[in-house]
Structure 1
Amino acid sequence: MALAVGLVVVFSPSASADTSSDTISSAILGGALSAVVSAPTRMTPVILDGRSSHTSVGSPAPWTITNARGSSAAWCLSVSATDFTSAPGTLDTIERTVAVENLTITPGTVTAHSSAGADAAPTTEPVAVSGRPQALVWTSTLGKGTFTLTPEFSLSVPPNAYRSNFSGLIDGSPVHPFVSILTFTIA
């Protein structure tokens, strides 16, 4: 018959041992929600033919959206704009317009920068711009970190549009381009 024997050793510090404890704390504060966005400075020119619509396109420098608030609160980058207007000239004394609804912004691929602690990429979809703010890039819960994207702007010019007004007489005068003022808001 085999017999198993166990040995239990208990260590007990001596009564003279000195012990202490420290507490360490650090406040972690949320940063800002910000966007660095722009419109293309120039879009491709269009030559009217009186039969069909033409498209003027352009892409700005890449956009950067940073959510450093440290929360999962939703956020949205929205856009609104004015109608495209060609200022009056000396020969054409009436300003000409193209409706802002003819402008579409396609956000493109959003890259979430994992090195900046980014969550999953936010939601996007092409937007037919109007005078009212339209959601362009948004999150419903996640969206912390830094994201980049390069959108494409596309202006559909109808066949019955007016040409740009000339600043002076037609021969040799520069044109007043069609200009729109875009307002981007992140909240």
Structure 2
Amino acid sequence: MARSTELGLIGLTSIALVVGLVVGPSPSARADTTSDTISSTILGGALSAVVSAPTQMSPVILDGRSSHASIGRPAVWTITNGRGSSAAWSLSVSATDFISAPGTLDTVERTVAVKNLTITPGIVTAHTSEGADAAPTTEPVTVSGLPQALVWTSTLGKGTFTLTPEFSLSVPLNAYRSNFSGAIDGSVVNPFVSILTFTIA
């Protein structure tokens, strides 16, 4: 005997549940912000100059007709201002008269006045690639026994500067020759010598 089975169908409804989640940093991933300070002390250095007179001035031959000049150029001068301030500075010079010392037979000291010496500073190069200020002021100086400024600045002047000056000694028409140190035969003479004093401050 055939048996029929009736199945009752239950209606099923699918529901999609969407939940919005806000994800924050975990306690271990939070930025921990603090502040601190850093300091550096910058100290001023020295003001210095490496300068010299020419090792040898050019010789002069008296001719009885006109004055002549004895010329000399020293090694490059270097001025360094590492003080780190805007304080003014100057490089000055003074000198003694030129004297040819007495010799064995030339027994009288001979003199050429220092006022005949002129120093021309020439072009000053400021090492701006290293952060130097603009080049300082210069002026040719007729040298005397009192200090006179060759190179100076009124305010700025930090850094390193170089220059090659020219020394020129005007030898008067009536100048005496250098004294011979021994026999008067021209072999050994006492040149005219001046002592120069440079001051930077």
**Per-residue deviation, residues 88-135 of structure 1 (Å, max 9, x unmatched):** 001111111100000000000000001221111100010000000011
Structure 2 residue aligned with 1:163:
177
Residue 107 (structure 1) aligns with: 121
2:80 paired residue number: 66
Residues 6-62 of structure 1, C-alpha deviations (whole Å, 9 max, x = no match): xxxxxxx99975322111101000010000000001110001112211000010001
Aligned residue pairs: how many?
Answer: 175
Partner amino acid for 2:46?
A
CA distance in 2, matches of 1:52, 1:171: 25
Q: Deviations 1:153-184 (Å, cap 9, x if unpaired)? A: 00000010010001101125400000000000
Q: CA RMSD in A?
A: 1.5
Length-normalised TM-score, structure 1: 0.90
What is the one-letter code of the residue matched to 2:40?
Answer: S
Query: How far apart, CA to CA, are the structure 1 residues paired with 2:151 and 2:31?
Result: 61
Greater Rg by CA: 2
Relative to the length of structure 2, the TM-score reads: 0.84
2:201 counterpart of 1:179: no
| C-alpha distance 101-14 of structure 1, shift in aligned 2 (>3 A) | farther
Map residues 16-165 of structure 1 onto 2, 5 A cutoff. 17-165=31-179
Identity %: 86
Q: Residue 68 of structure 2 aligns to which amino acid in structure 1?
A: H
Please identify runs of 4+ aligned residues in structure 1 that moved more than 4 A.
13-17
Q: Is the 8 A contact 2:128 2:134 kept in 1?
A: no
- Superimposed CA distance per residue, residues 55-92 of structure 1 (whole angstroms, 9 cap, x where no aligned partner): 00010001000111001110000000000000100111
Unaligned runs of 5+ residues in structure 2 are 1-24
Measured in 2, the distance between the counterparts of 1:18 and 1:151 equals 63
Give the match's secondary structure for 1:169: coil
Hey, what's the Cα distance between the residues in 2 that align with 1:65 and 1:19? 49
Gaps of 5+ in 1: 1-12
